[in-house]
Chain A
């Protein structure tokens, strides 16, 4: 049998750090980084006698996430203790939610690789605290614990096993990320670990109704490794089954360097977390009014923005999709368009040059250093003929290094377009003289030759000559010859 004979079943458990100012059970800052053990207090260090007090913002953020993903909100929720020993877990239990999560039975719509819409169901969203971090051999011998992250609030978003390919898994996670960004509950900085996923993968023969044995890859924090990891696991599991073996249920670690998964725990360590309601905390009771108030403050979500862009700005579905995938890019687009009035140009700049540079520099959209005003000015300068689009590309590159007024950049760099007829004529004559063959070609009816000549002139002027004027003048001059 081949890979085509198997169906892949994937479920994701996504952890997103919430962007509240303070931790979930104490008033320490949630800020990333900082010297080890400087963002902690007796409570998040679990000193004897300390007690947790639930940060109400955490509940609010989780409810926002639930409403934005079409979940039902649990009006009588609670916190539970998940007991296990690990040095990054100072209380030896994580305060989480077991049987009454804040949100349940949600769903989001994504596109599969064929471009068809498909619904991924969300089982539940619950709140919990993050653990600290172990530094192995980073400060000399041994392992040291940094509790700065201990108690940072998380939501865990658990999907049903509705995902059928690595591409769908990627689309699901991208969609989720964009929703969380829109509703401003998480920074979703994957490289800082504020968005990470545990990926459950199993395979079964097509037509089989029973799920295959799944493996779980822990703490994946890039789209690329998630896709690679899933592909690897699919191949590994199918090969195993084809060779007459059985897939073992286990927890795996994906290694990006070797491109393989490794088993993390031996079976002897099967954990019994002994969940029970945390007696230090009281029930979380939410009124209808509370939930409705949050619903009212939900911002416009990507779906509705996409429809609006197609309607209002005449964007293609593809462009509208790409823009709205990131709240930051989408905001940049709207602001730029409002200032310069040119939606098409704003969209093109963001989706082509700016996106390319982000990719090259491995930056997140919210790390774009310049503003909508800057981009709108670039567009206006092209429209006025002050710069060519070739120069504009250089200006945008420059804006990433030096976010300042584009007019100032072109002035400082001497990039103002040459629109002076005398100067342009001089260049045109020079190029004509050097390229008699092109002149002959043009005269013989090969109109494309003009393009070559314009190109040569642009090269000569380092892109500063006004291309429309060049074009016109070449035709005029050749006709004179």
Chain B
């Protein structure tokens, strides 16, 4: 097996046994990027040359992860390296500071290979809304990799980085992980610091991991989780070692499967795949029951109101005054604002800013934003009710597999529907993980989602791990079909 095909825990074992060196790891991934990036287009900025230097500097770092490469979604601030959010607005923006997660990554001695493509400001589910390029799905280059962390998912699936960081506001880690046949973990809101993550929707955003398998997710979560004084919404909890939770045993685990996610909207092949997952869990000794998430129907509308409202405010700072894109075409202050924002933002971002501005405006606030917050409470309560009975909730990650590039770009509503299964998890602030569970007849990956109680990452990681260890789906490799 090639080095770039190994998981990080496998790399660590081989390093430990001195079967490979850090230089070989670096070289293997560099070659892979040289070979595949031209087809996949996952990176906005490649920093492998800097990484080479960094590895030398970090040669004496005692951390076991020292020298392990990583890819970073381009909305996480990296000191001295551009953070563009895949937007013309921030095309040349270089943050003078590291996000808290980057400080942790650096402390662990890992080296960033670069910044990964995404939907502009993380708004979208296909990575087609990047200002710079369209990232391709490594399983089929005509398909989208999902989004918004599409660059992260595609880079990991293509073996250009062993793992990556993404961000998830309504499914932006789990859905691309599902589309690209890898594992994507969105932690509980507050487990990972948001300081340095360029905000899309502050009450929903969470940084998480995209990895080749579940053990790597636990390993990377160990690095990035933890309280941060710089983020008021970060939870002050004791640190856990998530790798210790991986017991390969789900006997007695109670799994609820909400019937609402198996209706007409779900593709038949996806439904069949999920049924097999349920069967597998039963075989492994878990109890699986049908349950109900009554408010599921309202979750999507609630999500788009809250997310857009917060985005409309969060993106106000991109005004052409202090940093970022400024129009050349202005005569007064209003022109600077109007033209910089009109020219600097893409269509999807503008659509959401307008929507968000509308739902917050005087006279509409109560009907939309306030009501959405009330439904949000109902969604939380509904989950709490289910978690009184079940340890985890199982759903498809996405209603279908990766779609053709360009097929939904002109139909935003259709695109929003792709988030149906993932969005409620963000609304309730819960942890969720997407795990590969097979390929459809076209050879495209399918994923299922496990949702846990707040801060029950250990529970969902163990459930995901047990499934993974007792199936072979993670051994499927993308073929870069054209």
A contact set with B: CB distance below 8 Å: 42, 45-54, 81, 83, 85, 87, 90-93, 145, 272, 274-276, 279-282
B296-309 Cβ-contact flags toward A at 8 Å (1 or 0): 00000000000001
User: B479 within 8 Å of A by Cβ?
Assistant: no
Cβ–Cβ contact A48 & B198, under 8 A: yes
Roughly how many angstroms separate A274 CA and B313 CA in the complex, as a whole number? 9
Contact (A53, B362) CB under 8 Å given A47-B96, A48-B198, A276-B313: no
A-B contact pairs, 5 of them (CB 8 A): A49-B196, A92-B316, A145-B322, A272-B361, A272-B362
B368-385 Cβ-contact flags toward A at 8 Å (1 or 0): 010000000000000000
B313 cross-chain contacts in A, Cβ below 8 A: 81, 83, 92-93, 274, 276
Cβ–Cβ contact A276 & B316, under 8 A: no
Cβ–Cβ contact B232 & A280, under 8 A: yes
Cβ–Cβ contact B96 & A91, under 8 A: no
Cβ–Cβ contact B195 & A49, under 8 A: yes
A54 cross-chain contacts in B, Cβ below 8 A: 232
Q: Which of B309-368 contact A (CB under 8 A)?
A: 309-310, 312-313, 316-319, 321-323, 333, 337, 357, 360-362, 365
Cβ–Cβ contact B198 & A83, under 8 A: no
Cβ–Cβ contact B365 & A42, under 8 A: no
Cβ–Cβ contact A85 & B319, under 8 A: yes
B93-105 Cβ-contact flags toward A at 8 Å (1 or 0): 1011101000000
User: B14 within 8 Å of A by Cβ?
Assistant: no
Instruction: Give the secondary structure class of A's interface.
Output: loop
Q: Nearest-CB distance from B101 to chain A (Å)?
A: 11
Instruction: Give the secondary structure class of B's interface.
Output: loop
Q: Nearest-CB distance from A436 to chain B (Å)?
A: 82
Q: Please name 19 further chain A to chain B contacts, defined as beta carbons within 8 Å, in addition to the given A48-B198, A279-B201, sorted by A numbering.
A: A46-B317, A47-B97, A48-B77, A48-B85, A48-B90, A48-B93, A49-B99, A49-B199, A51-B232, A83-B312, A87-B321, A90-B322, A92-B316, A145-B321, A272-B361, A272-B362, A274-B357, A274-B365, A281-B232
User: B53 within 8 Å of A by Cβ?
Assistant: no
Cβ–Cβ contact A51 & B231, under 8 A: yes
Cβ–Cβ contact A87 & B333, under 8 A: yes
Q: Nearest-CB distance from A237 to chain B (Å)?
A: 27
Assign chain B's interface to a size class.
35 or more
Q: In chain A, what residue has the closest Cβ to B356?
A: A274
Roughly how many angstroms separate A280 CA and B317 CA in the complex, as a whole number? 15
Q: In chain B, what residue has the closest Cβ to A54?
A: B232
Q: Which of B91-117 contact A (CB under 8 A)?
A: 93, 95-97, 99
Contact (A51, B95) CB under 8 Å given A85-B316, A87-B333, A279-B202: no
B202 cross-chain contacts in A, Cβ below 8 A: 279-280
Cβ–Cβ contact A92 & B319, under 8 A: yes
Contact (A92, B317) CB under 8 Å given A47-B96, A48-B83: yes
B243-256 Cβ-contact flags toward A at 8 Å (1 or 0): 00000000000000
Roughly how many angstroms separate A341 CA and B362 CA in the complex, as a whole number? 63
Cβ–Cβ contact B323 & A47, under 8 A: yes
Q: Nearest-CB distance from A346 to chain B (Å)?
A: 49
Cβ–Cβ contact A280 & B233, under 8 A: yes
User: B203 within 8 Å of A by Cβ?
Assistant: yes
Q: In chain A, what residue has the closest Cβ to B341?
A: A85
Q: In chain A, what residue has the closest Cβ to B76?
A: A49
Q: Nearest-CB distance from A127 to chain B (Å)?
A: 15
Q: In chain A, what residue has the closest Cβ to B231?
A: A51
A83 cross-chain contacts in B, Cβ below 8 A: 312-313, 316, 360
Contact (A53, B96) CB under 8 Å given A90-B317, A272-B361: no
Cβ–Cβ contact A52 & B83, under 8 A: no
Cβ–Cβ contact A49 & B316, under 8 A: no
User: B276 within 8 Å of A by Cβ?
Assistant: no
User: B197 within 8 Å of A by Cβ?
Assistant: yes
Q: Nearest-CB distance from A336 to chain B (Å)?
A: 46
User: B230 within 8 Å of A by Cβ?
Assistant: yes
